[in-house]
Amino acid sequence: MPQGNEPTCRLYLVTPPALEPAAFAPLLAEALDAGDVACVQLRLKDCSDDAIRRACDALRPIAQDRGVAFILNDHPQLARETGCDGVHVGQKDTPYDQARKILGRDAIVGVTCHDSRHLAMEAGEAGADYVAFGAFFPTSTKEAEYKAEPELLRWWSELMEVPCVAIGGITPENCGPLVKAGADFLAVVSAVWHHPGGPGAGVKAFNTAIAEASAD
Ligand SMILES: Cc1ncc(COP(=O)(O)OP(=O)(O)O)c(N)n1
Ligand SMILES: Cc1nc(C(=O)O)sc1CCOP(=O)(O)O
Ligand SMILES: [Mg+2]
């Protein structure tokens, strides 16, 4: 939970779905050195386990050395083997209970809940560290089958203690209503990694937008 001067909503960076670790490492460092980031999710799609291991080994220390949690998408066993802080699982991935057994009670386990109150309550009651809702806006990063509305974040954050993450097409320009509705984290791919000024400028733009929306 936020304490003291921490912002009420924080940035949750998700990596591009394909990357070359040596080339991506300086971009990740640039992003994390530019401002406040709560966590990084390594989300590699269509990749071998060995490639994921290599990416974890190269990128995990960049996050953890800066006090930023490093979470692996989809692969609880690999997350455990490679020293990640946790895993994110979707509804078609390893079930929450199994992921928790693999990683233990101290790890972060987050669960995709699409636009569903029911899935979120199930995940929250089971012990998930956060629930993720989306997609809030059109995204070209993946084919999003569900559409979530800010009202879902308002409902969840007023009723529940478990933090909620908003994902899908989020930019510094459109994030205000999500912050005001109670999102604890904004999970972002394109608007940071494809920011015209580079990822550092992307993080700064989000930090400013979140601060402005929180102050309103
Ligand atoms: C923070 C966060 N929220 C949602 C997702 C999507 O997970 P999932 O539905 O399993 O889809 P893939 O990302 O695996 O394609 C996520 N990764 N992170
Ligand atoms: C990985 C992911 N999951 C989503 C969901 O709705 O569950 S949307 C999404 C892609 C997010 O990327 P961008 O910030 O570039 O839109
Ligand atoms: Mg998944």
Domain presence at residue 17 = yes
Domain presence at residue 5 = no
Domain presence at residue 111 = yes
Instruction: Categorize the per-residue pLDDT at 108 as very low, low, confident or very high, splitting at 50, 70 and 90.
Output: very high
**Hey, whose CA ends up nearest to atom 11 of ligand 1?**
90
Domain presence at residue 4 = no
**Hey, whose CA ends up nearest to atom 4 of ligand 1?**
112
Ligand 1 touching residue 113 (CB < 6 A): no
Q: What interface predicted TM-score (ipTM) does this complex get?
A: 0.99
Measured in angstroms, how far is the CA atom of residue 169 from the centroid of ligand 2? 6
- For the stretch 30-55, pLDDT in tens is 999 999 999 999 999 999 999 999 99
- For the stretch 61-85, pLDDT in tens is 999 999 999 999 999 999 999 999 9
What integer pLDDT is reported at residue 7 of this predicted model? 52
Cβ neighbours of residue 52 closer than 8 Å, sequence gap 6 or more: 42, 44, 72, 75, 78, 82
Instruction: Categorize the per-residue pLDDT at 1 as very low, low, confident or very high, splitting at 50, 70 and 90.
Output: very low
What integer pLDDT is reported at residue 3 of this predicted model? 46
What is the number of structural domains in the chain?
1
Instruction: Categorize the per-residue pLDDT at 216 as very low, low, confident or very high, splitting at 50, 70 and 90.
Output: confident
Ligand 1 mutation target, pool 70, 73, 78, most atoms within 8 A of CB: 73
Domain presence at residue 50 = yes
> What are the residue ranges of helices labelled H in 4-48?
21-34
The response to whether 171 counts as a known ligand-binding position is no
- For the stretch 143-181, pLDDT in tens is 999 999 999 999 999 999 999 999 999 999 999 999 999
Structural domain range at position 184 = 10-215
Ligand 2 touching residue 139 (CB < 6 A): yes
User: Do 154 and 182 form a contact (C-beta atoms < 8 A)?
Assistant: yes
The response to whether 13 counts as a known ligand-binding position is no
**SS3 for 125?**
helix
- For the stretch 179-207, pLDDT in tens is 999 999 999 999 999 999 999 999 999 99
| Model pTM score | 0.97
The response to whether 190 counts as a known ligand-binding position is yes
State mean pLDDT over 103-119: 98
User: Do 76 and 53 form a contact (C-beta atoms < 8 A)?
Assistant: no
Domain presence at residue 2 = no
Flag whether pLDDT at 2 surpasses 60: no
Flag whether pLDDT at 90 surpasses 50: yes
User: Do 132 and 165 form a contact (C-beta atoms < 8 A)?
Assistant: yes
Domain presence at residue 104 = yes
For the chain, strand residue ranges (E) read: 10-14, 39-42, 69-73, 86-89, 108-112, 130-134, 164-167, 185-188
Domain presence at residue 1 = no
CATH number at residue 16: 3.20.20.70
